Amino acid sequence: MRVVVLGAGLSGLAAACHLVGDGHDVTVLERDDVVGGRAGLLHLGDFRIDPGPVVMTMPELLHRPLRAAGVADPEAYAPMRRLDPAYRAVFDDGSELSVRADMADLREEVRRLSGPADAASFDRFLDWLEELHDVEFDTFIDRNIDSPLDLVRSPVTAARLLRLGGLGALGPKVASFFDDERLHKIFGFQSLYAGVAPASARAVFAVITYMDTVRGVFYPDGGMHAVPRAMARALDEAGVPVHLGVEAAEVLRRADGAVAGVRTADGERVAADAVVCTLDLPVAYDRLLPGVTAPRAARRGEFSPSAVVWHVGANGAPGPHLGHHNIHFGAEWDGAFEALIDRRELMPDPSRLVTVPSVTDPTAAPEGSSTLYVLEPVPHLGSRLDWSREAGPMRERLHAFLEAGGYPSDVVEERLVTPQDWADQGLHLGTPFALAHTFGQSGPFRPSNVDRRVPGLVFAGSGTTPGVGVPMVLVSGRLAAERVQDYAGAARPSRRPAGRPARMAR
């Protein structure tokens, strides 16, 4: 089957790898001049920047598409090192916790910070995380789900999930293990990746804590862009063209509504029996599917908060107290999330992430300098904030924060990315985190990766199943390829002659 993949981000490249492994004839179209999507590459002077995701977990989920594309040794294509610590957590009272790679070392960190009672509870917490992952991943994340009925087809699994408290609130569940509120923060903040405050997120999202804490955080050699670059290399060696600088303008359909191909912004038509679309879901319907109404969740759903990211190249090497990933927790917690998510205001006492890749990788910055990635969660564009006015004060607050935290702050190069910039990149409401993972927008209730009105059209990426984050979008690529395979098996013979599809003339 001839398949066109729209977008050479993580989900699109993963889908293409699995599709070529299934024997399909694949072409990838990417509007930017580099692969990776949000995991692309940014150079500011001599500083190398990862402009999107900076936390890599579950590298085996990258190995799967590489193997599907014929790579015998995936680790050689994308070498990674496990970070130890995964995070340096800094609390409002000045105390710190290192999230160590070895669980015995992490238990001792918990003992040092919070005392023997919480250290004893740490083992029970790890057991709970392990069992939750074992119950949840294969059944609810790593497979296509067509309806809520799919969740009850394995009653034993569903019963285990309920017994583990997976559908209860995450914040109280974490608090049931630990007395120290600082531990509630470091083991519960991960729900914000899914766009939901810990107090209201379902406990199933502790699977992200499991990925971070138990399975570990990794750094690919050369930065996060090495991840899409590895898949693009595998596709190139498999003979799959990845056309850069080509923007899709419309998914073409036959008279019966089924996919016929893609029209590019230059007016060229590329024939296809199926299309995998990785654009942000509301944008995909608006731009590529005239006359097809987006699902209700994509039109009127609850979207995750956004983030301001300040990319900085600074004079001065990172000090020995800094980690690769540094999380600074404000004193406000539930109140800060209420402001951010419920009232769509700036957090009154923000928590922030500072990633300093030059701690691990000196090639990310010139000698004696540092590359920094400073992230603060902010409301999406559904708020009243005017980022043409807010950007300057935000930059000054972040600069003062770096100075106070002992980070290199003699700025040489910089770029501030606001929700408006994310929107300009084609992300609905200016959030890179897509639909929030509320109960009604997760699992079988999340917009499907197929639209029955357009046979042969399949979606991948953070807006569809299974959701947000590097592991999830890599899985989404495989699930999309599985949908294409199912469609190929069910589709009637093509009306067009067999053979390779029309190639892009470039």
Q: pLDDT of 375-425, one tens digit each?
A: 999 999 999 999 999 999 999 999 999 999 999 999 999 999 999 999 999
Residue 492 has a CB neighbour count (10 Å cut-off) of 6
With a cut of 60, say whether residue 493 has pLDDT above it.
no
Under the banding of pLDDT at 50, 70 and 90, the label for residue 143 is: confident
- Which domains are delineated in the chain? 2-40+53-80+223-301+434-490 (3.50.50.60), 103-210 (no CATH), 305-429 (no CATH)
For the whole prediction, is pTM greater than 0.75?
yes
**How high is the mean pLDDT of the chain?**
93
What count of Cα atoms within 13 Å lies in the side-chain half-sphere of residue 405? 31
Q: Is 256 exposed, middle or buried (0-12, 13-18, 19+ CB in 10 A)?
A: exposed
Where helices occur in 312-386 by DSSP H, the ranges are 334-337
Residue range 112-124: average pLDDT? 97
Structure tokens at 419: 């929700």
Residue range 301-329: average pLDDT? 97
Structure tokens at 87: 């995070």
Where helices occur in 358-469 by DSSP H, the ranges are 387-404, 419-424
Place of tokens 């989404």: 476
With a cut of 50, say whether residue 500 has pLDDT above it.
no
Q: How far apart are CA 19 and CA 14, in angstroms?
A: 9
| pLDDT reported for residue 356 | 98
CA quadruple 306, 176, 86, 330: dihedral sign? positive
DSSP state of 188: T
| pLDDT reported for residue 76 | 95
Asked if 156 and 134 count as a contact pair (C-beta separation under 8 A), the reply is no
Residue 283 has a CB neighbour count (10 Å cut-off) of 18
Asked if 302 and 435 count as a contact pair (C-beta separation under 8 A), the reply is yes
| pLDDT reported for residue 153 | 62
Report pLDDT digits (tens) over 242-279.
999 999 999 999 999 999 999 999 999 999 999 999 99
Q: How far apart are CA 57 and CA 215, in angstroms?
A: 7
With a cut of 50, say whether residue 287 has pLDDT above it.
yes
Q: DSSP string spanning 479-505?
A: HHHHHHHHHHHHSPPPSSPSSPPPPP-
| pLDDT reported for residue 3 | 98
Under the banding of pLDDT at 50, 70 and 90, the label for residue 496 is: very low
Under the banding of pLDDT at 50, 70 and 90, the label for residue 205 is: confident
Under the banding of pLDDT at 50, 70 and 90, the label for residue 234 is: very high
Sequence length of the chain is: 506
With a cut of 80, say whether residue 156 has pLDDT above it.
no
Under the banding of pLDDT at 50, 70 and 90, the label for residue 503 is: very low
Q: CB under 8 Å to 27, separation ≥6 — which residues?
A: 2, 3, 4, 5, 240, 241, 243, 270, 272, 501, 503, 504
Q: How far apart are CA 275 and CA 305, in angstroms?
A: 29
Q: How far apart are CA 339 and CA 96, in angstroms?
A: 26
| Position 367, amino acid | E
